[in-house]
Chain A
Amino acid sequence: MKTLADLKPGEEATVVELTSTGLTRERLQDLGIVPGTRVRASLISPLGDPVAYEVRGALIALRRPDAATILIENGHENGKND
């Protein structure tokens, strides 16, 4: 299954499941990253990692290994929209 780490800048998807546990999971949930949330990859760090995602009107940076614990579905090209 695809994860948030597979999302290219400008692409959008819906969160299906969080596979992380403990503090990481709590942190993600705090920021409103729960199943059903729409997420959009927005910005890549100059060194390629982390990536910042638009979530519920905020911009949240996640490292690739953390983003890879978030399963997503129907990510589609949406580069032109804001």
Chain B
Amino acid sequence: MAKTIEQKVKPGRAKYEVPESELVVALAGNPNTGKSTVFNALTGLRQHTGNWPGKTVTRAEGSFSFQGEKYHLIDLPGTYSLLARTTDEEIARDFLVEGEPDVVVVVVDATSLERNLNLVLQVLRLTRRVVVCLNLMDEAERNGIEVDAKALEEELGVPVVPTVAVRRKGLERLVAAIAKVAHQPGLDEASRREEVREFFAADPAEKDRIVRATFAEAERIAARCVRTSGSARRLDRILDRILTSKAVGFPVMLLLLAAIFWLTIAGANVPSSLLADGLFWVEEKLLIGMNAIGAPAWLTGFLIEGVYRGLAWVVSVMLPPMAIFFPAFTLLEDLGYLPRVAFSLDRVFRKVGANGKMALTMAMGFGCNAAGVISTRIIDSPRERLIAIITNNFMPCNGRWPTLILLATVFIAAAFPPSVGALVGAGTLVGVVLLGFFVTLLVSFGLTKTALKGAASAFVLELPPYRKPQLLRILYTSLLDRTLFVLWRAVVIAAPAGGLAWILANVSVGDATLLQAIVQFLDPLGRLIGLDGVILLAYIVAIPANEVVVPTMLMAYMNYNKLIEIESTQQLQQLLVVDHGWTVLTAVCLMLFSLLHNPCSTTLWTIFKETGSKKWTLVSALLPLGIAFLVCFLVAQTARLLGWGG
């Protein structure tokens, strides 16, 4: 397979596996200029977008057709320049120089053209096959910034196309310009690789001269092409002054987080029970159907009580909260608030030898720790990046939110009157995140003082302008990308896990079922840390994906003594508390374990790929697991000493 691809590609492209029959278009540009938005609009794919620098860190590829020809589009990571020596710049530079793209589209931010022109001018030294996509024209207009695209075209000598990528404005013209440049003859220069090599070989003084000359040129061009009237970004500055002020900054941060959790808990209640009703109604019908066709009891048991019930649980418990949580969080991301969080918290991270950008990679971890680990590429210092990778686990991911939300709802919120229940639940979840944050700081500090000694490196972070969130797009992408993705992963793993639980519960060894035997074996260890054998078993089953912890656990409990179906929170409480002796201590320890324990196998694999080190991968797995056991042990023992909970 790989061979045939290699045979079809140009020598320079072999490394990138780009077929020769397609015209290759690379999207370059500063971070946060709308590259991924353009990419998505042209290819119909859904690359992660958001208003903070550094969220696209891998090269995404897709294709589109225009006038009978196929174009292979590559979304490069954002770069301020091609001359620095960091991972992102390297990926972009390598591809521009060695991937031999037919066209390079440089996406620039019309609201800060001068800065963006630096990269354009650098790219123009490598190749003349360039189209400038002058994006964010709506923002420019709103801020009284006028850009003369014609004059800019004259200055640069390549097509300049004004666009509003989120509204697909100007994209047909962009595609036409790409096609034109792709077919323009005589644009290839042999010297481009030399240019880059020369720069890196130059002495510091010469480099400085080159950089200054490029910016001087950018200033000159911007002076001719940009006219600013009124007060650019006055509103942004006012908002910034409030959101990062001493008095309001941190309370607002916590309130926003709490508001999202409150919305999630309060809003998910009704749809969750409706879904459960519906799905268990279907189960009854399925049972009747199975009986009607005379299916053997073991098959009915395996398929309905095992596989189907597992799926139904995952869907009804996980779908509604996820469908609220992810869009709400994406909204914050799109607004441009996250970099302000990094800005506000950097001092704290610096104190423990880490980097404020960790606030961004941690926020990514909220979605998925594997994605969080990849996003640490925005951190320049290898030492700080490794810290960010190892600690990313302490931000609960997609797969763990359902467990946490469920426990906060069923055990903590339910102990209060309904009027304040959701608030208490939300407060609990904020507490969990804060705890994760403190553990992150502690572990970072520990690593800085031991295995990863070193001083804090430079911290340079751009605070992007606030942007009006694209509500419909947010709903669409966060539902499709995150919610359905999580659900799909849960379903794919929950179905076999459900089946497995059923088999374990129905195959006997001696006078106990396999399930009882395993659970009995694990039980003493579980009790020691405030949990039980079933929960530990669920965590073993859930090594590939945390999503299945709750379904596996419930399935095991239900099969343990053949319980009927469960339809509501009350019945869930009945199952856990009355039938299986859960206490608030069990719930607390489970929340702690869920927050702290080892990352899933996907994340570990990602860590291995990113660090290239077995040692650090092992540390990333064992350190959290050890911390989880230790913390749960201490909490359980202390609580028991004080006479709280069994």
Interface centre among A30, A48, A66 (most CB of B within 10 A): A30
> Do residues A31 and B346 form an inter-chain contact, with CB atoms below 8 A?
no
A24 to chain B, nearest CB (A): 4
Tell me the nearest residue of chain A to B211, going by C-beta.
Answer: A29
For this complex, 11 residue pairs linking A to B, each with C-beta atoms less than 8 Å apart, are A23-B457, A29-B208, A47-B347, A50-B347, A50-B356, A59-B463, A60-B463, A61-B343, A61-B460, A61-B461, A66-B460
Q: Is A36 an interface residue (CB 8 A)?
A: yes
Q: Is B234 an interface residue (CB 8 A)?
A: yes
> Do residues A66 and B380 form an inter-chain contact, with CB atoms below 8 A?
no
> Do residues B459 and A50 form an inter-chain contact, with CB atoms below 8 A?
yes
Measured between beta carbons, the chain A residues less than 8 angstroms from B113 are 57
Q: Is A58 an interface residue (CB 8 A)?
A: yes
Tell me the nearest residue of chain B to A31, going by C-beta.
Answer: B80
Q: Is A63 an interface residue (CB 8 A)?
A: yes
> Do residues A45 and B347 form an inter-chain contact, with CB atoms below 8 A?
yes
> Do residues A50 and B115 form an inter-chain contact, with CB atoms below 8 A?
no
Q: State the A residues within 8 Å of B (CB).
A: 20-21, 23-24, 26-32, 34-37, 42-50, 52, 55-63, 66, 82
Residue in contact with A27 in the complex, picked from B84, B347, B464, B465, CB distance below 8 Å: B84
Measured between beta carbons, the chain A residues less than 8 angstroms from B267 are none
> Do residues A66 and B459 form an inter-chain contact, with CB atoms below 8 A?
yes
Q: State the B residues within 8 Å of A (CB).
A: 80-81, 83-86, 111-115, 118, 204, 208, 211-212, 215-216, 218, 231-232, 234, 237, 240-241, 244-246, 249-250, 343-348, 350, 356, 380, 456-465
> Do residues B344 and A58 form an inter-chain contact, with CB atoms below 8 A?
no
Q: How far is the CA of A20 from the CA of B457 in the complex (A)?
A: 12
> Do residues B347 and A61 form an inter-chain contact, with CB atoms below 8 A?
no
Tell me the nearest residue of chain A to B32, going by C-beta.
Answer: A58
Q: How far is the CA of A58 from the CA of B108 in the complex (A)?
A: 13
Measured between beta carbons, the chain B residues less than 8 angstroms from A60 are 460-463
> Do residues B458 and A24 form an inter-chain contact, with CB atoms below 8 A?
yes
> Do residues A56 and B115 form an inter-chain contact, with CB atoms below 8 A?
yes
> Do residues B463 and A45 form an inter-chain contact, with CB atoms below 8 A?
no
> Do residues B250 and A46 form an inter-chain contact, with CB atoms below 8 A?
yes
Residue in contact with B212 in the complex, picked from A36, A58, A82, CB distance below 8 Å: A36
B424 to chain A, nearest CB (A): 28
Tell me the nearest residue of chain A to B380, going by C-beta.
Answer: A23
Tell me the nearest residue of chain A to B347, going by C-beta.
Answer: A47
Measured between beta carbons, the chain B residues less than 8 angstroms from A82 are 231-232, 234, 237
Given A34-B215, A82-B234, are A28 and B111 neighbors across the interface (CB < 8 Å)? no
Interface pairs A-B: 3 shortest CB-CB? A57-B112, A47-B347, A30-B80
Given A28-B460, A43-B244, A61-B459, are A37 and B84 neighbors across the interface (CB < 8 Å)? no
Q: How far is the CA of A47 from the CA of B348 in the complex (A)?
A: 8
What would 8 more interface pairs be, CB under 8 Å, given A30-B80, A47-B348, A58-B462? A24-B458, A24-B460, A31-B115, A31-B460, A31-B462, A57-B112, A59-B464, A63-B458
Measured between beta carbons, the chain B residues less than 8 angstroms from A29 are 81, 208, 211
Q: How far is the CA of A29 from the CA of B85 in the complex (A)?
A: 13
A14 to chain B, nearest CB (A): 13
Residue in contact with A63 in the complex, picked from B211, B232, B350, CB distance below 8 Å: B350
Measured between beta carbons, the chain B residues less than 8 angstroms from A46 are 244-246, 249-250, 344
Q: How far is the CA of A22 from the CA of B335 in the complex (A)?
A: 34
Tell me the nearest residue of chain A to B465, going by C-beta.
Answer: A59
Interface centre among B83, B231, B245, B459 (most CB of A within 10 A): B459
Given A50-B356, A60-B463, A61-B343, are A27 and B241 neighbors across the interface (CB < 8 Å)? no
Tell me the nearest residue of chain B to A49, going by C-beta.
Answer: B347
A75 to chain B, nearest CB (A): 19
> Do residues A32 and B115 form an inter-chain contact, with CB atoms below 8 A?
yes
Measured between beta carbons, the chain B residues less than 8 angstroms from A55 are 115
A26 to chain B, nearest CB (A): 4
> Do residues B348 and A58 form an inter-chain contact, with CB atoms below 8 A?
no
Interface centre among B80, B343, B356, B380 (most CB of A within 10 A): B343
A61 to chain B, nearest CB (A): 4
> Do residues B347 and A48 form an inter-chain contact, with CB atoms below 8 A?
yes
B213 to chain A, nearest CB (A): 10
Tell me the nearest residue of chain A to B458, going by C-beta.
Answer: A24
> Do residues A42 and B244 form an inter-chain contact, with CB atoms below 8 A?
no
B118 to chain A, nearest CB (A): 6
Given A27-B84, A42-B237, are A57 and B460 neighbors across the interface (CB < 8 Å)? no
A77 to chain B, nearest CB (A): 17
> Do residues A45 and B350 form an inter-chain contact, with CB atoms below 8 A?
no
Tell me the nearest residue of chain B to A9, going by C-beta.
Answer: B241
> Do residues A57 and B346 form an inter-chain contact, with CB atoms below 8 A?
no
Residue in contact with B115 in the complex, picked from A45, A57, A63, CB distance below 8 Å: A57
Q: How far is the CA of A35 from the CA of B205 in the complex (A)?
A: 13
> Do residues B347 and A32 form an inter-chain contact, with CB atoms below 8 A?
no
Q: How far is the CA of A59 from the CA of B243 in the complex (A)?
A: 15
A43 to chain B, nearest CB (A): 5
> Do residues B84 and A30 form an inter-chain contact, with CB atoms below 8 A?
yes
Given A50-B356, A57-B112, A57-B232, are A45 and B244 neighbors across the interface (CB < 8 Å)? yes
Tell me the nearest residue of chain B to A60, going by C-beta.
Answer: B462
